[in-house]
């Protein structure tokens, strides 16, 4: 049994603002994203916009107990539910499933700093560390917020009480979230699923992590496919959620199908010369892409991976406009695939495109290709 999977709701938040209209306007204007080059110099970041959280997270107590990545995700999820017309439909949300792509959660810098400082003078470092870990940990029993707390807070704030799954693994986790969520709807296992993720780029720890791998671009913003002189990504705080439904479910409740999502193709290759281009060519065929009107690329700007993707897209879609997410919102790791799919759906629904191809090539592992079509 294979059913059509349609997109009925979109929720987007990034440095461009919130909602579909703001992001399409920014894409068409072609302007550079808001960039902060001071806080984490010599690295830049595309910061989250000012958001009135009450619009989607009405309780101040809920807002306070979430770190920024959770607030961004819960807010975007609320936007998607609103757009799909189910925000106040308790019965629908009771059976709504949830698939989230998320990183490792945010660190508690105060606790980290206090423990490291105390270790210097501790007479018995082992005993000191055990004592501090027992007394200073969050209620989640971890020095960082757990990845599945985003799904939990979406359930609490928005009343989405179907089964939930959380995937970790950088860009590939977003690909898998979409792939599995859409496949379950297509197979008739479920009728609807909320899929997405969120990322807070404005954190010293993530800068350290990615700089150790040599993945950050030094200096200010430059277009993703024009970073040869200083390759690397510029992180962006962002969140994206899509409500996926079977076409029959959407029709039964009179919802507008914004776009149709074809089965998502994914791969995991070694980063050897030529492997990314070969993988994309295979995924392009597997996804059934023939003549897209546009390509939404999740290219990170990392060498030599991004150059290989550029070459592959030139061969696979000659003359077709390529929109790099990094030029729009920055690089959001786990959010790249959901954001790309959501932007593609917006282009189909609001700009009349017939077919948009979406690529997600991880900065160090994993590839994904999907096809977003007019409903």
pLDDT of residue 348: 98
**What does pLDDT average to in each consecutive run of 10 residues of the chain (375 residues)?**
93 98 98 97 97 97 92 98 97 97 78 84 90 74 73 96 94 98 98 97 92 95 96 98 98 98 95 95 96 97 96 97 98 98 98 98 96 97
Pairing of strands 259-261, 5-14: antiparallel
- SS3 labels along the chain: CCCCEEEEEEEEEECCEECHHHHHHHHHHCCCCCCECCCCCCECEECCCCCCHHHCCCCHHHHHHCCHHHHHHHHHHHHHHHHHCCCCCHHHHHCCEEEEECCCCCECHHHHHHHHHHHCCCCCHHHHHHHHHHHHCCCCCCCECCCCHHHHHHHHHHCCCCCEEEECCHHHHHHHHHHHHHHHHHCCCCCEEEEEEEECCCCHHHHHHHHHCCCECECCCCCHHHCCCCCCECEECEEEEEEEEEHHHHHHCCCCCCEEECCCEEECCCCCCCHHHHHHHHHHHHCCCCCCCEEEECCCCCCCHHHHHHHHHHHHCCCCCEEEHHHHCCECHHHHHHHHHHHHHHHHHHHCCCEEEEEEECCCCCEEEEEEECC
How many angstroms separate the CA atoms of 135 and 125, rounded?
15
pLDDT of residue 192: 98
How many angstroms separate the CA atoms of 100 and 77, rounded?
10
Is residue 305 a contact partner of residue 143, using CB atoms and an 8 Å limit?
no
pLDDT of residue 104: 78
Helix 275-286 and helix 305-316, axial crossing angle in degrees, nearest 10: 40
pTM of the predicted model as reported, rounded to 2 decimal places: 0.93
């Amino acid at each position: 049994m294979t059913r059509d999977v349609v997109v009925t709701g979109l929720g987007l938040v990034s440095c461009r603002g919130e909602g579909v209209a703001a992001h399409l306007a920014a894409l068409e204007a072609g302007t550079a994203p808001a960039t902060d080059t001071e806080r984490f110099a010599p690295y830049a970041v595309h910061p989250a916009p000012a958001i009135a959280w009450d619009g989607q997270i009405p309780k101040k107590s809920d807002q306070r107990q979430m770190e920024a990545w959770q607030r961004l995700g819960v807010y975007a999820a609320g936007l998607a539910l609103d757009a799909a017309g189910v925000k106040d439909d308790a019965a629908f949300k009771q059976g709504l499933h949830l698939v989230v792509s998320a990183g490792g959660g945010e660190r508690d810098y105060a606790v980290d700093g206090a423990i490291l400082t105390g270790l210097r003078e501790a007479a018995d470092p082992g005993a000191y560390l055990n004592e501090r870990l027992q007394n200073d940990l969050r209620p989640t029993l971890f020095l960082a917020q757990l990845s599945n707390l985003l799904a939990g807070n979406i359930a609490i704030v928005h009343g989405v009480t179907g089964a939930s799954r959380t995937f970790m693994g950088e860009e590939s986790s977003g690909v898998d979230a979409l792939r599995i969520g859409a496949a379950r709807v297509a197979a008739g296992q479920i009728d609807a699923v909320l899929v997405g993720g969120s990322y807070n780029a404005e954190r010293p720890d993530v800068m350290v992590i990615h700089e150790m791998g040599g993945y950050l671009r030094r200096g200010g913003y430059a277009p993703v496919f024009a970073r040869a002189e200083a390759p690397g990504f510029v992180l962006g705080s962002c969140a994206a959620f899509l409500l996926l439904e079977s076409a029959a479910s959407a029709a039964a409740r009179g919802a507008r199908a914004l776009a149709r999502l074809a089965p998502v193709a994914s791969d995991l290759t070694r980063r050897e010369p030529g492997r990314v281009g070969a993988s994309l060519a295979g995924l392009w065929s597997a996804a059934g892409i023939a003549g897209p009107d546009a390509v939404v690329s999740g290219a990170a700007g990392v060498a030599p991976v991004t150059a290989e993707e550029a070459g592959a897209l030139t061969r696979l879609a000659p003359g077709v406009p390529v929109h790099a997410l990094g030029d729009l919102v920055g690089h959001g790791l786990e959010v790249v695939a959901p954001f790309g799919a959501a932007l593609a759906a917006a282009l189909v629904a609001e700009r009349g495109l017939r077919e948009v191809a979406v690529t997600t090539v991880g900065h160090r592992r994993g590839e994904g290709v999907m096809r977003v079509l007019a409903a």
